[in-house]
Structure 1
Amino acid sequence: MSIASLVASLTRAARRFRHASDGNIAVIFALVMVPLLGSIGMAVDYSRANRARTAMQTALDSAALMVSKDFSQGIVQESEIAATAQKYFDSLYKNTGGAAVQVLASYTPNTGKGSTIKLDASSAIKTEFMKVAGVSEMPLGSSTTTTWGSTRLRVALVLDTTGSMSSAGKIDALKTATKSLLLQLKNAATKPEDVYVSIIPFAKNVNLDPTNYNADWIDWTDWLAEPAILDPAKGGAKPSNWSNIGPGSPCPFTDGYWGQHGFTCTNIAATLPGAASVSTVPSSGLICPSKDSGNKNRLKNGLYYNGCYSSVPTETKVTVASCWGIPNCTCTSGRNATCTKTTTGAPYTHVWRPAGVNDATPDKSTWNGCVADRGTYSSPRDDYDRKVTAPNAATPESLFPAEQTSYCSPVVTPLNSNWSNMATAVDGLYPLGGTNQPIGLVWGWQSLVGGGPFPTPASKDPNYTYQDIIVLMSDGLNTIDRWYGDGSNTSTDVDKRMYTSESIGTCANIKAANVKIFTVHVNTDGGPTSTLLRNCASPSDSGEKEFQIVTSAAGIQTAFDSIGTKLTKLRVAF
């Protein structure tokens, strides 16, 4: 039975009771029926009106977001806003209990805090019960406002490109997901300066681009130094027969399980073109360490030493009675001339010469761009590896230490809005080396503030709100940095540099600088969830950490899509 039929039946019953003559039943019923029916009817009609109003508000909110996005991207012109809003609303509003809804739209250009589009909707719903009391319809109205472009984004994508990313299809999935995220961010921008992105691949090191080899922010101390294992000043020692080694001598360095050094010999400095392994010291007398295998010291795995030891022989002079037929002989004059013969050979004096050239100026152009964690390993430790303090030549530990390694990660990309170039950079990612999340994280932060290879970002326009973001993706646990690590997942000291507590570590420093951190743990091998990545993440609006764990390569896409959606919403708000 319909509501209208029910009302008619109750009305007829009331009339019959009005003519009843048995007792006071008719009078009592008539007195009770009117307020009871009115109360029930009012509750039912108000409930219907509230449902209609809720549906109207939901449809209006969604329509406002949709038309704002279309307008910001140039799909809809200002003159088309009202019609487009009405079209979106009509497709979303499914309540059929009311009259047609008229949507009015007003657009306000950016006057300092973003552009706005305000939508107002009005309609009415016909009553079923309340019309008995003379109320035939109830008005409905709703309003919503979107603000577009009031927030500008600066996003650093800090991406794990270590050797383990080569397994389970992770590196290819990372490329696909990253380019998808870049497209989301591109679509969220109305103007180039609305969204800037940097890309920071990392392994043990970060690659700051080898073309920067003349920059004044690089510390070349370690890059130019002889191997520490041979330097007595650093606790090392030369081979026992060192002074007797010269041209033609067997290579004095040994590698392998029983090796003493972790490297052998090359004909010229290992970083120079044409370097090749040799078993004996060449005629040049250059004694050049090869690339380090890490067999002696895991921290040196893949490290190149940028120089050679020259061999300076000792000169020996002997006087003989005759000059006849004696080479290298300096003779006196006269009938009874004598000869002073000079010979060269052991003992040799060996001098370390950076870049392996007979020149006082070392060749830094062979640097492949990688830097290690900055700072010094001393007590108390300085904090340069956990902050973005500007480098200063007067304070060497504040400079970025060059480190030549065969596991150098892909080159970083500074903040920019050249989406095509960024996609190309992502295509060039490759997996190599061990995991050092702290160095990737701090360089992501560095890219947001400028310094070193990164230009200082343009001054922030006071007419906008800015949000700095770091997205850190890694597929495992930290294994190695400049000072710690043995190649296994037990390097807790690396973790402590990144996060000790909510107030100590790189993560804490970044969050204190009002930079929001999203973290993603790609866990395809069934290992434990990274507590470190969870702790490092910033809290979401609901209080939960902005942390995601995925168990397949395909999950990277899902995680990045989720982050992209959240970042896009920062650009559009009610």
Structure 2
Amino acid sequence: MATSVRIGSEDGGAVAVMAALVLVPLLAMAGLGVDAARAYLVQARLSQALDAAALAGGRVMFEPERDDDVRRYFRANLPAGYLGARIGDVAIAAGDGGETLTVTASAILDNTLMALVGRPTIEVAAGATVHRASRGMELVLVMDNTGSMLSAGRIDAMKAGARDLVEILYGNRERIPNVWVSLVPYTATVNIGPGNGAWLPPGALAARDYSASPQGWKGCVEARAASGNDTTDAPPAIERFLPFHYPSDSDNHYPPADESTATNTTGNSGRGPNLGCPPSITPMQAEKSRILAAIDAMGPWHRGGTMANLGLAWGWRLLSPRWRGLWSGTTPQLPLEYRTAYMDKVVVLLTDGVNQFYDQPPAGPQGSDYTAYGRLGWGRLGTTSLTTATNRVNQRMAAACEAMKAEGVTLYTITFDVPNATTRALFLGCASRAETYFDSPTNEALRAAFRQIGTTLSNLRLAR
């Protein structure tokens, strides 16, 4: 007898219900996988875009366009509507006195299958923080203090730019571990400071008459031209320096002397044995306030001309380990050895004109004012030709640049409103790389160059 099995309508309904109950969690699990994968991709791209934006903002931390740069880099790295996401704006916050920059953002995605179980959207968020981490450094600012810096607000722009650099480097800190900064104001000579008379030959000051000057010898020295040590780092033990002494003559008649700052930084009417001698070198300092005070004390000292090669040479002597322990008023262990681990040696060199022997009208004796090379007609550079002498000064500067770079010194050079192509080429060749040379035709461009250098010296690192 045959047996048949009959499935009734009641049993079929039960199976359908069971299938539906099983299908719902399966769809939810599938939806979770699809939507979670999209959310993961959006969050990863969001994080990458914020990293790029934070680094871009950190490089211009103190510039007015910082926030615009952050948003531009963010949008460039995360296109609108990426994978259907609605991307919010970037939140930007600086902290710790400019030492950190944090950027955050979020995005909302419409779910597909997850919407079936009551989850119509999913939100993802990310953030990035950059810290400015300065390496150890010995930094020298070699700044033009010649009389031409008086015009068009140049001296004020240079001082403001130098202050910007220091402020970017230090942030709100007074000291940074293993960071020292020094300043070399130069004209046609350099002032080593009257406290360093031991670097002169015995009796050198007594042999020259400074009685007309209330301050005596101010501290400027002549160049060691005959031996070629005018632009080397040879210390005084190798060759001493002769004191700068502008003789009384038709172009500088005294007594009485007028070597006041008020007279000598506002025109060519100063006179005295220290005529044309700028403020003294500030040796390596750890404290930000001391460097800022030295920057503020700079001024456009008139007469003599411009000898950027001598400013550079003294910048080298502040970095050379051959001068360790010779500079008073600084840490006796400085300068450190070249290529000390985690330490950089850096020079920023600025000029607003050509290297030259200036001759104050009407023409003075021997073809020029007195400089660290004496007068042009004295022939201390092996010539009395103005053109040849200028070329030799440029050649000695170029040789010093190469010698410093060979020791691992990083050179940043700036020409400030300099139309002379030869001088621009000289400073470009002196720089460590093309990117470390700045041709700044305006006051605004000069300040931007200083800020860019300061930001470059303040290394950025990402931290989440």
> What is the TM-score with the length of structure 2 in the denominator?
0.59
Question: CA offsets, 1:261-295, max 9 Å, x none?
Answer: xxxxxxxx4x20489xxxxxxxxxxxxxxxxxxxx
Equivalent residues in 2 for 1:26-65, closer than 5 Å: 53-60=44-51, 62-63=53-54
Residues 50 and 128 in structure 2, CA contact (< 8 A), matched pair in contact too: no
Structure 2 CA distance for partners of 1:372 and 1:571, relative to 1, 3 Å? farther
2:413–2:438 CA contact under 8 A, matched in 1: yes
Deviations 1:481-521 (A, max 9, x none): 5234879666100011111xxxxx11011111111000000
* Secondary structure class of the residue paired with 1:167: helix
Q: Does the CA contact (< 8 Å) of 1:65 and 1:146 recur in 2?
A: no
Matched with 1:453 is 327
1:99 Cα shift?
Answer: 9.5
1:424 corresponds to: 293
Q: Which has the higher helix share?
A: 2
Match for residue 369 of structure 1 among 211, 219, 223: 219
What are the Cα deviations for residues 333-377 of structure 1, in whole angstroms up to 9, with x where unaligned? xxxxxxxxxxxxxxxxxxxxxxxxxxxxxxxx8221001223x51
Is contact 2:319-2:335 (8 Å) kept?
no
Deviations along 1:10-44, one digit per CA (max 9) or x if unpaired, are: xxxxxxxxxxxxxxxxxxxxxxxxxxxxxxxx9xx
* Counterparts of residues 78-477 of structure 1 (less than 5 Å): 97=84, 149=133, 151-187=135-171, 191-213=175-197, 215=198, 217-219=199-201, 269=209, 271-273=210-212, 366-374=216-224, 377=226, 382-392=227-237, 395=238, 398-405=239-246, 406-431=275-300, 432=302, 433-449=304-320, 450-451=323-324, 452-453=326-327, 455=330, 456-458=332-334, 465-477=342-354
Amino acid at match of 1:59: L
Partner of 1:517: 411
Structure 1 463/497 Cα, relative in aligned 2: closer, same or farther at 3 Å?
closer
Residue matched to 2:447: 557
| Separation (CA, whole Å) in 2 of partners of 1:180 and 1:202 | 20
Name the SS for the 1:410 alignment partner: coil
Quote the offset at 1:453 in angstroms: 3.3
Q: State yes or no: 1:508 paired with 2:402.
A: yes
**Are residues 94 and 152 of structure 1, via their aligned partners in 2, closer, same or farther at CA, if it must alter by over 3 Å?**
farther
Number of residue equivalences: 340
Residue identity opposite 1:507 in structure 2? C
Listed one character per residue, the Cα deviations across residues 234-259 of structure 1 (whole Å, up to 9, x for unaligned) are xxxxxxxxxxxxxxxxxxxxxxxxxx
The 1:119/1:554 distance shift into structure 2, 3 A limit, reads closer
Q: Shift of residue 223 of structure 1?
A: 5.3
Q: 2: distance between equivalents of 1:208 and 1:118?
A: 44
Report deviation, 1:401.
2.6
1:272 to 1:179, Cα distance in 2 relative to 1, 3 A: same
Say if 1:526 and 1:551, in contact at 8 Å, map to a contact too: no
* Equivalent position amino acid for 1:219 in 2: P
Question: Contact conserved, 2:144 with 2:187, CA < 8 A, in 1?
Answer: yes
**Contact kept? 2:165, 2:451, Cα under 8 Å:** yes
What's the secondary structure of 1:177's corresponding residue? Answer: helix
Residue 182 of structure 1: CA displacement?
Answer: 1.7
TM-score by length of structure 1 reads 0.49
Distance change (3 Å), C-alpha of 1:447 and 1:573: farther
Shift of the 192–532 alpha-carbon distance from structure 1 to 2, 3 Å rule, reads: same
Q: Report the alpha carbon displacement of residue 412 of structure 1 after superposing the two structures with TM.
A: 0.8
Distance 1:208 1:512 in 2: 25
Please say if residues 191 and 281 of structure 2, whose CA atoms lie closer than 8 Å, have aligned partners that are also in contact. Answer: yes
Whole-Å Cα distance in 1 between the matches of residues 384 and 172 of structure 2?
43
